[in-house]
Structure 1
Amino acid sequence: MRNVLIVDDDTIVRITLRSLINWEEKGYHIAADAIHGRQALDFIKDHPVDLVITDMKMPVMDGIGLLEELNRFKDMPAVLVLSGYDDFKLVRDAFRLGASDYLLKAGLTEETLVSMLKRMDEEVFQDQQGETGEEKKPVTAIPDSSLLGDMALGKRSLDESFFQQEYLVIQFEIEDFHKVSARFGEDFEEELIKPMIELAGQIPRVASRCIFGAVGPSRYVMLYRITDPGQYMDNSVSACRQLCNVWKHFMNLSVSVGISSPGNGSKDFLTRFEEAGERLRLKYLKGKAKICDPWEKDVVSFEEVRQTGLEYARLLKGLMVGDELSVWSEKKRLFSDLYKMELKAAKDVCLCIICNMAWQLSDNHDDITALFVEEINYYVKIGRLDGMRSLELWLNNFFRWIMDYNAHQTDRRQADMMIRAKRFIMDNYANPELTLGSVAGFVGLNEKYFSTRFTKEEGMTFSNYLTEVRIRKAGELMETTDLKIYEISQSVGYNSVEHFTRVFKKLCGVSPGGYRK
């Protein structure tokens, strides 16, 4: 059994990782979790760990700092990195420091995690076991598709022979990956990645001038060599559209695209790769399964969106958490700024705020398209507004929709937490150490808040609920087994048979012995 340490400052991510799969069945044991790198190091110094799953961005000590410290260990554990879509620079640094692989947080599903652990078993832990006496498999040539994906991630140094002429770097992302991934089982390599690459290779103009590879189950990269200087803009967009149509037709996958500006030589490759990813992140303003290229007119840039997000960070945070007071004061500042601008500039700021809102929803595993029944192209929607007053009115309505939606989602998520809490109680009622605090910690809620919410939703306190579960289970054991009373007492979480007897009689109106008779 391999020991696993989860390192992430986000409680929800830690809980998700713990509960996503049956770790024991896969040969792994969750030894502990930590909220930052320093806490993780303190644990590892006293406990053997085989696999560390760590976030990149954390307080006190981030993922890069943790990797740097782990490199000082005589026996460094395997490290699996968690990242966001905009963290490829950090992922490359992580590989440089010895990380084994990475998982995209937004694409984290049972299937992706199982597939990753299977790959770790075959490629990482198998290597650590040394010689097994079996005949070594012959070394096979690595296909260009794999080399390209590895170079993009920093797993492999750049090969100058790939970049002998001008090129574009294009990124592709499967839409709603967390929903569609279940169709492809546990072996993403065979069931998803390989078919995606093979279908791309069947398109003549892609096969003749492009290299297409995967950087993950949900994300792909293509090197488009420019052999048509006068027409490459239209031709590259046309090739991307044809690829997306093929994947839609044969695999029922919707795919969005981000295209970089031209690059030259290996020195430009990583910059163009990141540029393609940044352009891909602007897709939310156009709708799903769209192509975002550098030649579009009258669109906002990634840098404009990023800067606007920094400028109005308090407004965005208030919208996400439902802070009416903060939103009210920040809206006044926003509209004061907008009325000082030309209408076109004000509309661009509006678009940047919408895109930032989409990013934050995506970071929360949510989707801005869920706000409305129909898909919206925000360039068209905002473009139709004929003045500052109508822009202000529309933005006010949009902010209200966002806050109402987030409030509903928060209620739903917290209701889901109560369901998980009750399941946790049912799985652990036999443990005498089960407490309100341990259940609250499991679902990631403050103990006092959890206690209040539990009482409100269940109509009884946590303590009374746990007692009722234990006594009901005790009654079932008396009806269906020949266990002695003290054995039943221990089986339902009571160390003292006397205390168990008093509680049972109080709740059932009869002693355990009388109930059995």
Structure 2
Amino acid sequence: MINVLIVDDELEIRKGLHLKVDWQQLGFNIAAEAVHGEDALEKLTEQPIDVVITDMNMPVMDGIALLSQIQQQYPGIKSVVLTGYDDFVYTKAAIRHRAVEYLLKPVMPDELEQLLLQLKQTIMNERQERLVDQESSRKYERWFQEIRENFALHMLKGDLSPIIMSKAAPIQMKPWDEAAIQVATFGLQADKAHEAKQETEQFQLPFELIMRELAQQHAEQLFICKDSSYPHLLHLVCRDGSSTRLQMIESFKQQLKQVLGFELVLGISGEVCGFAQWHHAYMDALLQWSLHNSEAHQHTALHGHIGRLNDEMLIRLLQKDDLNPALQYIRTTFTEAKQLSHTELVRRIFEVLIALERLLQEQKASVVHTHSIWLNPEQVLKLTTVDKAIAYVERYLQESHKSMRQESNEDIFDEVLAYIGQNYVYEITLPSLAEKFNYNTSYFSELFKSKVGQSFVQYLSEIRMKHACHLLETTELGLSDIAELTGFSNASYFSSRFKKMFHISPSEYRNEKSKTQ
């Protein structure tokens, strides 16, 4: 329904307009009436109005002054002027203040109906355009936020590769590199192993939806990170003042308890600064979360712990056919950790398992073997000696090693294509991709073409162009922004590649699509 305000100092004129047409049938509602300009402005503050039909010659505030105020304060309102043949001065003023139409007195019913139908079409078109713009804006914001969350997850897992780090500035993450942050890990955790699956399945979706709704209220101060392998765990990366961070985290915990009906397990890290330190905070939060039933639960921040595990070295050792060097390295680092405390040994066990998961994700196999640990981490606390810890971890290493050897090139290429689909915004080259998946570059190039049916460069270009087309169709972003968000070095190169592929320029493509929508 379209709301109308009628403004005229003569009661007969106002009532007459009511009777000229069937307003409701035409889709209009006479929401209010006013006797002069000031009265009309007061009515405009009381409810939303789409159309103002006003006389020009009125006491207190005439139509000229009213139109001027409407133009300044309510530019979206459509103004219609009631005028007579002798009111040429008023007509010129109405034109100056952008009145959309005029009705000559006496108003004829057919003229009024025709005008209302024209206004209705214009207003409905504008409403539809606003809805499309709002939806495009929401999609872009959601997509941009997902990219930033993905970057933050890379930082938490210690992936500081040049390809990833090069995108910190374009996605506005550089200020976070200089900010003091804490990580808070929220998770669904069962008291008994057999309860874990049922509990996480039942509460996983509402848990995430509530967390994201709460996080939206503090979008400038925090990120939510989620590893798809462990949907029952959500990690908050929080900045701002220390007391503010802790208050915010505690508020989240209490609101989740109120809605879900039970208290979630929470682990909070110590404060760190710089992307290179985010992994330490991530491990602190995971460890605190896992130790919630132990004496170490009272230990909020971990200080004086041993240095970070050299997971790159461990991964290289795990890729060898002989696992003994990897096990020897793990034994050495477990021994160093145990000499400090049992808590440090537990931390090191988790670090080794995370490194193993990273290898499985990046190489060939699905992460299936360590799920029970994250759902019921108390079992790790029972590993009180290095020998017990080694025996525990070795079982997962053997299973994972066997799984990786059994995976086919077909499965590997599912991972390759998934990686490209998730990282096309970054700089990806054939040599870097071959190295990541442990292939010789020349062999990888031939294998890629045989599996995918086109060269790596062609495939990557098509993926980027697909997302570029989506942004051209659904957003008003400039070519420079689209180029940057789809992995092209600059707008000029993007435009030339686009024209070569589609035989029209990006601007022409956008115009054509806008006409068909």
TM-score range, shorter chain: 0.3 to 0.5
TM-score of the pair, normalised by structure 2: 0.34
